[in-house]
A and B are shown apart, each in its own frame.
Chain A
Amino acid sequence: MENEYYVCTGCGLLCDDIEIELDDGKVSKVNNACLKGVARLKECNRPAECRIDGAPASLEDAIIETARILKEADSPVIFGMGNSTSQAQKNAIELAKKTSAYFDDTSSFCQGPIVEAILENKIRTCTLDEVKDKADVIVYWGADPSNSHPRHLSKYTYFPRGKERQRGWEEDRTAICIDVRKSDTATICGDKFYQIPPQADEELLNALTNGLSGKVPKVSFGMGPKKILELANMLKKAEFGVICVGLGLVYSLEEIEPLVRLMDKLNEVSNFYLIPMVGQYNMRGSNHNLHEETGYINRVKFTGNDVEHGAHCSVVELLRKRTVDAALIIGSDPMSSLPGSIAKELLDIPVITIDPCNTLTSRKAKVSIPVATAGSECGGTAVRMDGVEVEFKAMTETDRMCDAEILERIMGEL
């Protein structure tokens, strides 16, 4: 009998080799997934409840109340999307147009600049399948996939045998880690771990670019030119190299130009690609869908046929400056993920959450709408961290509606 495989929506890796067992219509066993994936695919311990002002409500009433709030708001924001199917994202964009809303997603304060540079062809990228088949040098910079994307090394980058890398990690591949601390991934990389001080990433990027340009690379911290040149030479000799960029690198750069310059230099002397270590399973999908519609990946405001874009349209600035008077949060928990001093602004405006689980944000929301969990209870498509579209089907049946359907119902009510 042929095995049936499912897709895990636990992170941006979208592992497509998941086997499950069902018991009484619920996922009882998950095979091949990592710890995080198993937890994601099994029902959360505290599923969201349909509530208005803290009191139990019918789905119908919650949808009517949501439509009322959005209609009455002068400047609503629609935010989240990283844990939504592509169809839900497209529906959310339509809803933002209809309500003249701001629209932003979590990439706004994480991997956004990297995905933007990729979509604008400023940085070369490749697929994880190409990495598996061809990559001989893998650099994790400011990333610790052993904790953030536990199957990244085993499924695609360092450990597997690939078409052109039959000897795998033992002989064919070199994994390098650059980070501010000796993470679990750094431990795997052994003597190819390069520890740098916090906020020193830009200096090392520039030093490597200089080293690859024949200049003496210098940094202000305790890494001598010899050590930097040793790293530069490893990168130069790569037949197929990839830099997997984590938030440690993204957050330490004021702008990504030093990274773009290093990538350009690497591609003069070698063959290098870059993949962002996207966290949420479909954050990149939101970037792609909005880009297709507006030419921007995030941070927009719709007004009629006009689209405004910029940092002032980011969820962080909108909350900081109290620009918005209502928020529709889809598959996200900004009360947890934003700085407390900024997230607290959500307490002063009506918030609607659409989420499968009870979250800090849903607990404070005026309207909380429960939905099916994408991946286990709801099918759809998503865009993997490397830009590959992945289709997934539901594992179980549920009475709860998918996020895309809920958004359609809200549109209908409007």
Chain B
Amino acid sequence: MGFGQFLKAPEYDIKIITYRDVFQSTALESSGCGDEYAERSAVILLDKGDMKKMVLKDGRKAVLKNNFGRVVVHLRPSSYEEGHEGIGYMTNSPWSNALVSSETGGSGVPKFKMITALISDAKDE
């Protein structure tokens, strides 16, 4: 209940859809523990309008968190011509997987393609 709550970065709901990127996959083949793979994986592509609305800036970092995990990733505006309000795109990687629900309904298949999380500016993280 302290004053700190007023200084926290605001958090917004975001749906995350994962996709494949040939350059990131290539980096994975070279080294799954390498810097290039990390650089190409720890990124979220956001709708330009969303970035403006959420006051998130290109090149800065964001915190993504939900009940299953918390990651810090780079922020970039997406290059899609059409807007995708409320949806962020991430390559499939340990960073996106950190946010995937562990609930499967006993099916053995996690919901890899539909992740919901809160996004906020990572400040100095």
Contacts and interface: CB of A to CB of B under 8 A. Distances in A.
Interface of A: 10, 34-36, 38-40, 42, 44-46, 108-109, 144, 146-148, 150, 180-183, 195, 198-199, 247-248, 251-252, 299, 311-312, 314-317, 320, 333, 335-343, 357-360, 363
29 contacts: A35-B23, A39-B30, A42-B30, A44-B29, A46-B31, A46-B34, A109-B112, A147-B21, A148-B22, A180-B17, A198-B15, A199-B114, A251-B109, A251-B111, A311-B108, A314-B108, A316-B110, A336-B97, A339-B68, A339-B110, A339-B112, A340-B68, A340-B94, A341-B98, A357-B31, A357-B32, A358-B31, A358-B33, A360-B33
B22 A341 contact: no
Interface string B1-21: 000000000000001010111
Given A340-B97, A360-B32, A109 B26 contact: no
B124 interface: no
B52 interface: no
B30 A320 contact: no
Contacts of B32: 333, 336, 357-360
B60 interface: no
A333 B110 CA distance: 16
Given A180-B17, A198-B17, A340-B69, 10 more contacts: A147-B21, A195-B82, A198-B114, A247-B113, A339-B112, A340-B97, A341-B98, A343-B97, A358-B32, A359-B32
Interface residues of B, number: 42
Interface of B: 15, 17, 19-23, 25-27, 29-34, 68-69, 80-82, 84, 87, 89, 93-94, 97-102, 104, 106-114
Contact of A360 (B94, B100, B107): B94
Contacts of A36: 22, 25-26, 29
Contacts of A35: 22-23, 26
Contacts of A314: 108-109
B19 A337 contact: no
Nearest to A113: B109
Contacts of A340: 68-69, 94, 97-100
Nearest to A183: B19
In the complex, which of the residues B27, B34, B102 has the most CB atoms of chain A within 10 Å of its own CB atom?
B102
A320 B102 contact: yes
A108 B108 CA distance: 7
B104 A317 contact: yes
